[in-house]
């Protein structure tokens, strides 16, 4: 084998960003399509992380839970101004599948949060995090669901928009949705407690 060619292959497949390293097999061949897709996802996520580090976006910060795992991100969302969530700092974990961006990540708040579109266990329920294609329940248009053009930035901005304007038509938290519609004062009190708790956790 050509030593120079092997060296260039190793260099091309041995990228690093903030101590993240992707190591392909020594023969530089992917054993199957799943490994290839995971490698492509890793490279794309590295690029998105690098872009966010270079060009931070107002309203949130993002990084890795563990620098050795590019597929799990830690996100802190700042409660949007002029909303009930203003002043809060809400932490969430964003977990990406190995076939990203063909499939969406999942997002789960680790901070306590009271919202019609967040399940009681913290999982976020918004259209763009739902798999691509038609909605089997008929609530969403295919155009509202996940497409590979979405990025970490567009996902988080959609969650910030969700905080600004809850959708109570197909809620993840039925009780929160009912309070949002019928008992706004009680809803406001619960959100206020979540905001204060998030500030205490800083």
Pairing of strands 106-109, 89-95: antiparallel
CA neighbours within 13 Å on the CB side: how many for 45?
Answer: 31
Measured distance CA(80)–CA(59) in Å, rounded = 7
Measured distance CA(60)–CA(75) in Å, rounded = 7
125 is catalytic: yes
Active-site hit among 28, 53, 125, 194:
125
Q: Which two tokens mark 142? A: 């295919």
Which spans in 18-137 are helix H?
33-54
Residue numbers annotated as active site: 125
């Amino acid at each position: 084998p050509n030593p120079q060619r092997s060296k260039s292959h190793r260099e091309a497949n041995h990228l690093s960003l903030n101590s993240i390293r992707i190591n392909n097999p020594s023969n530089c061949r992917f054993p199957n399509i799943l490994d290839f897709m995971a490698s492509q996802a890793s490279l794309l996520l590295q690029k998105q992380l690098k872009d966010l580090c270079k060009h931070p976006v107002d309203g949130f910060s993002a990084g890795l839970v563990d620098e050795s795992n590019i597929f799990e991100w830690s996100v802190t969302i700042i409660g949007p101004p002029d909303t009930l969530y203003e002043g809060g700092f809400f932490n969430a974990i964003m977990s990406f599948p190995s076939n990203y961006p063909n499939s969406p990540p999942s997002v789960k708040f680790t901070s306590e949060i009271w919202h019609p579109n967040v399940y009681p266990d913290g999982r976020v329920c918004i259209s763009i995090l739902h798999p691509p294609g038609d909605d089997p329940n008929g609530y969403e248009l295919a155009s509202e669901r996940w497409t590979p053009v979405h990025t970490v930035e567009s996902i988080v901005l959609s969650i910030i928009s969700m905080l600004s304007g809850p959708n109570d038509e197909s809620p993840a938290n039925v009780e929160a949705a009912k309070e949002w519609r019928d008992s706004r004062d009680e809803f406001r009190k619960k959100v206020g407690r979540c905001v204060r708790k998030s500030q205490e956790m800083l």
